[in-house]
């Protein structure tokens, strides 16, 4: 018997490959912001080498304490997304990956 939860899981299943937006939020660290951003982009490109500059956007928070980087990748599978998340969270400047 299929429950509502089972049907919802089927309804929201991601079909790979697909365009997948990732938002990385990190603390701004003054003069090293550029280096931290470059490090984040390097990790993303290691997992999704097809990423181009026009698929990346950055934005500082209202008070300037945080910076968000949004990258649109072509996700090839769940294992790619898990590995990317793990590597991004290992960076000192990263606080959250959505």
Res. 94: pLDDT tops 70: yes
pLDDT of residue 46 exceeding 80: yes
Q: pLDDT value at position 77?
A: 96
Alpha helices in the chain (DSSP H): 4-11, 33-47, 78-89
Q: What is the pLDDT of residues 23-35, one digit of tens each?
A: 999 987 665 678 8
Banded model confidence at residue 4, pLDDT cuts 50, 70, 90: low
Fold annotation for 16-97: Alpha-Beta Plaits (3.30.70)
* In the block, residue with structure tokens 């509502």: 4
Phi, psi angle pair for 28, to nearest 5° = -85, 135
Q: How far apart are the first and last CA of the chain?
A: 33
Q: If you average pLDDT over residues 69-95, what whole number do you get?
A: 96
Question: Can you tell me the distance from the alpha carbon of 21 to that of 3, in angstroms, rounded to the nearest whole number?
Answer: 30
β-bridge partners, 19: 74
Hey, where are the domains in the chain?
Answer: 16-97
pLDDT at 95: 95
């Amino acid at each position: 018997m299929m429950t509502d939860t089972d049907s919802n899981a089927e309804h929201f299943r991601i079909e790979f490959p697909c365009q997948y937006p990732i938002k990385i939020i990190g603390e701004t660290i003054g003069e090293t912001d550029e280096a931290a951003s470059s490090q984040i982009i390097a990790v993303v490109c290691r997992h999704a080498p097809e990423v181009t500059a026009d698929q990346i956007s950055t934005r500082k928070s209202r008070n300037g304490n945080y910076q968000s980087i949004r990258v649109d990748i072509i996700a090839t599978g769940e294992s790619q997304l898990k590995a990317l998340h793990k590597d991004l969270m290992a960076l000192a400047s990263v606080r959250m990956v959505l």
